[in-house]
Structure 1
């Protein structure tokens, strides 16, 4: 077993706290989802200064932030960064009461290092002092991923991938993703997040279903899959626009034995339902 404090030494142990986040308040979403998406709310969760002093930084000058890595279970947490803590003045209570500055120390482990606690935590936010966390929660290094963790396949209805995430999944042949996407055909939607326009496509004849179709999009040499409208965007705005703005989700899945004409009919339905044909969307026909 590798102890957390042995793996992540800090310059001022007595002035450092650890904050374990499970979810944002008021239905704001899971902490891991916010961290992996670089959502500003992730940082705000650590900046919050509560009325209850037990939930605050106190005299801490540094913070190790963690998000519950729910794909593994309730007692697994993934590293979100080492921060310098400065209280906002005048003091803000029940609001964003701290300024946080990300430090270079241990930055290479962000979204990669997963620790396991001896038992699940019972609160939405949980703080511990660095000096005592080892005896209180027994955190141990569980995994150091070679690249940013994306989690196991979340289910067809919960798939929402940015292009850089799709690239990593395909490049690493992520097993749970490859198994799930290879086992179905389907209708999918690509969203251009810069303007909200949609493109509906399908994997109706590919031997390896959605995995084969999306693997093509993941290649920088085939970002558009040959689609006329997407290719027009690539020529006008460049590859960087697609990589930075395209998001991939699944609308409907089918057994691999389903006839292609059945899937193509459903693709046409979704184009009509979502108004993805020109001029409203990115489908040419």
Structure 2
């Protein structure tokens, strides 16, 4: 067992708090989803406690905060690291709202969205904010469970929500992310690749691949290929280099099909989308 306090030392244990975020109120978003969100303000906002009484909240005079999000793919006792913050009091004091700002510090920053800890028991909502000093000896007794080689991307969130950068696609394929592999392997489909530098689209399909979209997208994720052997994408790669694809390509799904669907049906739908989005004349498709 690697102890929490041995792995995550802090400058002042007696003035550091640890927050175990779970959900943003009744019916609110899960903490892990907010940590993953494009807008970092959503995650910061979750970590700011609002005092409902007529007084200012200063996090009990804490000077630092270690923040975690419940990592629900593993279970209720697992939390993923969301950052180490300096707690800066608001001047003048704020009443009825957060009385402090959170300033992200560089210490432990390489562990954000990678480090997962495990608590000895599930945590209740009434003890989600704890003092660092004494936490290791408490009934929670946190331990280091996993340090992932790359940023965790979360579980598969639905075919209609797929919007992956090339680097995210690389990590999913390279790490055989279980929920993504299961979802993408179980369907055929029509997909779109967007060049974010200019808005051009490429329409493609996974119709005959044994492992569906997973197999097709794995060919794009391979750093020795990047193009899935598509001639137009290969020309773009030759002209602009590998970095252009890695830095600018985004992958989404337009339609999914049962694996038993005839190849011809899927190819017809691919042709429809090429016409609908005019990708032969104003995109990257040439057939």
Could you say which TM-score interval applies, normalised by the shorter chain?
0.7 to 0.9
Is the CA contact (8 Å cut-off) linking 2:58 and 2:100 kept in structure 1? no
CA-to-partner distance for each residue in 1:227-269, whole Å, 9 max, x for gaps? 4554565456543332223222223223333221111112223
| 1:164-185 residue CA offsets vs partner (Å, 9 max, x unmatched) | 1111222233344334323332
1:132-162 CA-to-partner distances (Å, cap 9, x unmatched) read 4342644333333233222344443443322
**Which structure would you say has the larger Rg?**
2
Q: Is the CA contact (8 Å cut-off) linking 1:47 and 1:100 kept in structure 2?
A: no
CA distance in 1, matches of 2:103, 2:27: 23
Structure 2: any 5+ residue segments left out of the alignment?
A: none
**2:41 match:** 41
Q: How does 1:169-208 map to 2 (within 5 A)?
A: 169-208=172-211
* 1:107 matched to 2:109: yes
Unaligned runs of 5+ in 1: none
- For normalisation by structure 2, the TM-score amounts to 0.80
Partner of 2:268: 265
1:149 aligned to 2:169? Answer: no
Q: Deviations over 1:101-146 (max 9, x none)?
A: 3222x333222221233224438x9422112434264433333323
Preserved CA contact (<8 Å) 2:203 2:274:
yes
Contact residue 234 and residue 242 of structure 1 kept, 8 A? yes
Task: Spell out the pairing of 1:1-285 with structure 2 (5 A cutoff).
Answer: 1-23=1-23, 29-36=29-36, 39-45=39-45, 48=48, 50-52=50-52, 56-92=58-94, 94=97, 97-104=100-107, 106-117=108-119, 118-122=121-125, 126-134=128-136, 135=138, 137-227=140-230, 230-231=233-234, 234=237, 237-273=240-276, 275-278=277-280, 281-285=283-287
> What is the number of equivalent residue pairs in this alignment?
282
Report the aligned-residue RMSD. 3.4
Taking a change above 3 Å as real, the CA distance of residues 236 and 50 of structure 1, as seen in their structure-2 partners, is: farther
